[in-house]
Amino acid sequence: MSNIRAGVRFQPDVNKRLQLGVHKLAQLIRPTLGPLPRTVVHQKLNDIELLDKGALIARRMTNLPDRREDIGAMYLRHMMWQLYEDVGDGTATAAVLFTTLYDAGLRYLAAGVDVRKLGGALEYHLKYLLNQLDQQTQPVSALAQLQGIARSVCPDIALADVLAELVHDLGEFGRLELRKGGTQHEWSFVEGNYWSGGVLSKRFLEGKTPARIELEDVGVLVTDFQLDDPRELPPILKQALQLGFKKLILIAKTISERAITFLTAPQLLEQLAVIPVKLDGFTQAQDSANHTDLTALVGGYPVVSLGSASLPRARPDDFGRARLVWADQQHVGIIGGDSDPHALKHHVNSLKTAFYTAQDAELRKTLRTRLGRLLGGTITLWVGGASEREVEANQEHAEHTDLTLRSALEQGVLAGGGRAYLTCYNFLQRQYETASTLEERASCHMLLTALEAPLRTMLDNAGLEPSEIIGTLKTAGDEVGYDIRNQTYSNLTEQGILDVASVQKAALRYAVSSVALALTIEAVVHKKTPEQVTAP
Amino acid sequence: MNTSTINASSFVYGLITFRDVMYVARASGLNASTDEGKTWHNALSSLQPEPTPITCLLSHSQGLLAGSVGGLFSSQDGEQWQAISLRKPVPTLSALAVVTARMANHNDVLLASSLADGVFRSDDNGQTWLAWNIGLFDLHVLSLIVTDGNIVIAGTETGLYVSYNAAKAWEAVEMPVGDAILSLACHQGSLYVGTETQGLYCLDANTLTKDTLGTRFLTSDTVDWEKLELPRGAINQVDIADEHRFVLVDETVYSYQQDVWTAMEKDVSCFAHMNHQLALGFLDGSVQVNNV
């Protein structure tokens, strides 16, 4: 019995409305699954935007008039957004999988299956499906493969090809900086390693054109000092001189005018040229990471004051060395750091291990940035476009494509176009035939239907009849897929029609887990409609 | 046997032939001979000042490259040379190699390794050079080679690195021992790695392809190393081919005959096998050409 004042609804009233909401959102998303790109227009306050990413479309959709339908749509939206934040893609696939599984699940609920046992069976079969996908996963390294993947996620073919080539050169962790460019896509390579930061005072750049210092065969001392009292500097400088340095880069947080005057004194410059620079870091953890990485490259150890009033002494071992250090107002760069290669390799491997085990997307992003910097070399890509709006859109596409290509390098690829899911069909069919409980059979049947759904949707989108094609593929070898654009059966891997394995697995995992939970919904509590608020 | 001497105190770093002319890289410069080493002339007289020493040589489809402590020099005919601008600080070059273009309308990629600045590469016939060095943790590169499969191998002070994209990005290859890699050779899919103190190792270079391995960290467990039985000493140079095997251990050249390594010549600084002849550069600066 519903309580209009409180906005509470119970079963069996709930599922139908939730399902309608799910379908309304899914209908928006389906066309974007491909294979030919379609867009959805979203009206903003004084503008419109064209969207082709499932998660972004879902994000824009708010407040269906019917509150229960709205909850259904928001539930699906929430799943899609979480998936997008996790792996950056696969949201349309996940939406299609979810909708298919949810529809089938509701029918089985109506038939009387135990929803808890059904959820358990779904998770059980999911594990085996993910294992099947693992077995199909292949490493990717060829440029043609990366091009195929890039073209499938980036609508600008020229940009996709450039990105594929650059990521092919950089590998999984190499550093790629994306900037807004002009009308063309252009890139350049910067040797060595560099950080945001720069010279601590413009006085050290006076008279230099361009405004940049370059020091060869230079000592490097990494500190967190706030250089205030110049009287604290001589012990450090004396140590540097004793080590034979004629030039020194001093990493510090801040510097006072008195200290600058001391460091620019001609008497000092005759013996030792000292340039104080800073590395940008918003938190202590970032500062510490920067210091650790820099000393891993140049040798030495960070000298940490820990906020004490006086600066600690620097020992000989604390100093590092580099072939060349450059700095301007915004960056500090190293070429040819002189650290122990074994120690550097160990440090990089530690960060790689942390990266592969990290679950948090922000942490992975931070670790990837650090690794890119440590590996050395940076490619800067200026993303072009015919207009400013196009440049902005292309930059977003470039970021997304870069992430997808790195995921492909990291986790491998599967045959694209929904083929990988379909390859799991026969395995699951055998599970279905040997299932012993109603819930196990229900789970298998739901998943069997879902495994076809992405390919079926893509064929629908292309205006083709799905059943015959899917029927043919089920009996063909696993290596045979359907090239929808060219309407031919072919080896999709050889054609470069590939999907990133981590994305496909995540889409399936999110869809199954979300449906298992959604089917347990017994009641909804929602905001009152305006009519309910004003009703007596 | 043809012998000749020129500047007895000039250490010989390398020997090559280019268009039937023999070139020797010396501490005192670059010399050329058109009569199989009987007489020599100065090949770098077109440069002022003449660069010294010349530490490495390479002949490729577009001409010659010569590496020095002061940089890199190129010539299309072996007589007229020009200096190539490399970024500062100017590297000391240790070895030169070329990745042959596999596709039409693509240039060969020229490579120059250095003692402290990694590996420089040029894909515009030597006009411009960049050191990508991505993932090359040890920039002290002592030896360089390109396999038949166009995989680039760099031997550094601390170990071995491999590049699958013509020296842009590198991956470390674990060896059974950690040591400076002084020399490299490749023949019929086998890679030969000469170390400073741990002898000569052989590896099936086909295991270094990315598709075969697909591993993130290449470990000594994933590749099969074989140690060759040789006299103890620094493996300064290796040359393996169908009809011959030569190894320079310290200052002695050994050849492999009837399943045994046999000492051939002593006091050798380098050698080169060319057209059924073995050219030897000696510590006293002399060059000897033997028929083999």
pLDDT digits (tens, 9 = 90+) for B228-270: 999 999 999 999 988 889 999 999 999 998 888 999 999 999 9
To the nearest whole percent, how much of chain A has pLDDT over 90?
59
| Contact at CB, B178 and A342, closer than 8 angstroms | yes
| Contact at CB, B135 and A323, closer than 8 angstroms | no
| Contact at CB, B165 and A376, closer than 8 angstroms | no
3-state secondary structure labels for all residues of chain B: CEEECCCCCCCEEEEEEECCEEEEEECCEEEEECCCCCCCEECCCCCCCCCCCEEEEEEECCEEEEEECCEEEEECCCCCEEEECCCCCCCCEEEEEEECCCCCCCCCEEEEEECCCCEEEECCCCCCCECCCECCCCCCEEEEEECCCCCEEEEECCCEEEECCCCCECEEECCCCCCCEEEEEEECCEEEEEECCCCEEEEEHHHHCHHHHCCCCECCCCCCEEEECCCCCCEEEEEECCCCEEEEECCEEEEEECCEEEEEECCEEEEEEECCEEEEEECCCCEEEEEC
pLDDT band for position A523 (50/70/90)?
confident
Q: Does A143 reach chain B within 8 Å, measured CB to CB?
A: no
As a whole number of angstroms, the distance between CA A33 and CA A458 comes to 6
Nearest beta carbon to residue B89 from set A139, A217, A344: A217
Does position A39 have pLDDT exceeding 50, yes or no? yes
Minimal CA–CA distance to A139: which of B173, B213, B247, B222? B213
Instruction: Spell out the residues 6+ positions from residue A475 whose beta carbon is closer than 8 angstroms to its own.
Output: none
Nearest beta carbon to residue A349 from set B88, B164, B217: B217
| Contact at CB, B172 and A345, closer than 8 angstroms | yes
Closest chain B residue by Cα to residue A167: B169
Nearest beta carbon to residue A341 from set B88, B158, B164: B158
| Contact at CB, B132 and A139, closer than 8 angstroms | no
Minimal CA–CA distance to A382: which of A393, A373, A391? A391
| Contact at CB, B165 and A375, closer than 8 angstroms | no
| Contact at CB, A375 and B164, closer than 8 angstroms | no
Does position A200 have pLDDT exceeding 50, yes or no? yes
B57-86, pLDDT tens digit by residue?
Answer: 999 988 999 999 888 999 999 989 999 989
- Minimal CA separation from A373 to chain B, in Å: 9
Closest chain B residue by Cα to residue A374: B135
With beta carbons under 8 A apart, name residues in chain B contacting A139.
210-211, 214
Does position A335 have pLDDT exceeding 90, yes or no? yes
Task: Determine the pLDDT at residue B1.
Answer: 33
User: How buried is A335 (Cβ within 10 angstroms: 0-12 exposed, 13-18 middle, 19+ buried)?
Assistant: buried
Does position A429 have pLDDT exceeding 70, yes or no? yes
* Sheet hosting strand A186-190, strand order edge to edge: A175-180, A378-383, A186-190
Lowest mean pLDDT among A24-28, A183-187, A235-239: A24-28
As a whole number of angstroms, the distance between CA A133 and CA A131 comes to 5
Nearest beta carbon to residue B134 from set A139, A344, A375: A375
- Minimal CA separation from A159 to chain B, in Å: 21
| Contact at CB, B134 and A376, closer than 8 angstroms | yes
Task: Determine the pLDDT at residue A32.
Answer: 82
Calculate mean pLDDT across residues A291-311. 87
What angle do the packed helices A115-136 and A425-433 form, to 10 degrees? 140
Calculate mean pLDDT across residues B177-194. 92
Q: pLDDT: is A5 or B277 the higher one?
A: B277
Which site among A167, A172, A345 would you substitute to test the B interface, given the most B Cβ atoms closer than 10 Å to its Cβ?
Answer: A345
Q: Does the bond joining B53 to the residue before it have cis omega, within 30 degrees of 0? A: yes
| Contact at CB, A375 and B211, closer than 8 angstroms | no
Nearest beta carbon to residue A336 from set B139, B168, B172: B139
With beta carbons under 8 A apart, name residues in chain A contacting B222.
none
Which site among B113, B114, B130, B137 would you substitute to test the A interface, given the most A Cβ atoms closer than 10 Å to its Cβ?
Answer: B137
**If contacts are CB pairs under 8 Å, which of residues 139-168 in chain B contact chain A?**
139, 156-159, 164-165, 168
Does position A87 have pLDDT exceeding 90, yes or no? no
A393-409, pLDDT tens digit by residue?
Answer: 899 889 989 988 998 99
| Contact at CB, A141 and B159, closer than 8 angstroms | no
Task: Supply the ipTM of this predicted assembly.
Answer: 0.89
Q: In this structure, are residues B202 and B190 in contact, taking their beta carbons and an 8 Å threshold?
A: yes
With beta carbons under 8 A apart, name residues in chain A contacting B129.
none
Nearest beta carbon to residue A376 from set B130, B133, B165: B133
Does position B133 have pLDDT exceeding 50, yes or no? yes
Backbone angles phi, psi at A428, to 5 degrees: -70, -30
With beta carbons under 8 A apart, name residues in chain B contacting A375.
134-135, 169
Which residue in this structure is represented by tokens 């670790």? Answer: A367
| Contact at CB, B134 and A170, closer than 8 angstroms | yes
| Contact at CB, B211 and A169, closer than 8 angstroms | no
Q: pLDDT: is A308 or B139 the higher one?
A: B139
Calculate mean pLDDT across residues A67-84. 88
| Contact at CB, B165 and A352, closer than 8 angstroms | no
- Minimal CA separation from B218 to chain A, in Å: 12
Strands A254-255 and A226-227: parallel
CA distances from A18 to A15, A71, A98 (A): 5, 6, 13
- Minimal CA separation from B155 to chain A, in Å: 13
Task: Determine the pLDDT at residue A52.
Answer: 67
CA A202 to chain CA centroid, nearest Å:
37
| Contact at CB, B138 and A375, closer than 8 angstroms | no
Calculate mean pLDDT across residues A460-469. 89
- Minimal CA separation from B214 to chain A, in Å: 6
Q: In this structure, are residues B112 and B51 in contact, taking their beta carbons and an 8 Å threshold?
A: no
Task: Determine the pLDDT at residue B222.
Answer: 62
Closest chain B residue by Cα to residue A138: B214
| Contact at CB, A139 and B118, closer than 8 angstroms | no
A/B interface, count of CB pairs below 8 Å: 70
Handedness of CA A409, A411, A412, A414 (dihedral sign): negative
Does position A307 have pLDDT exceeding 70, yes or no? no
Task: Determine the pLDDT at residue B204.
Answer: 82
In angstroms, the first-to-last Cα distance of chain A is: 19
Closest chain B residue by Cα to residue A191: B132
Instruction: Spell out the residues 6+ positions from residue A68 whose beta carbon is closer than 8 angstroms to its own.
Output: A9, A13, A14, A17, A18, A21, A524, A526
| Contact at CB, B87 and A341, closer than 8 angstroms | no
| Average pLDDT along chain A | 88
- Minimal CA separation from A123 to chain B, in Å: 30
Write down the pTM of the prediction: 0.85
| Contact at CB, A341 and B157, closer than 8 angstroms | yes
**If contacts are CB pairs under 8 Å, which of residues 337-396 in chain A contact chain B?**
341-342, 344-345, 348-349, 352, 375-377
With beta carbons under 8 A apart, name residues in chain A contacting B178.
342
pLDDT band for position A497 (50/70/90)?
confident
| Contact at CB, B130 and A189, closer than 8 angstroms | yes
pLDDT band for position A527 (50/70/90)?
low
- Minimal CA separation from B93 to chain A, in Å: 15
Lowest mean pLDDT among A105-119, A180-194, A233-247, B36-50: B36-50
Does position A281 have pLDDT exceeding 50, yes or no? yes
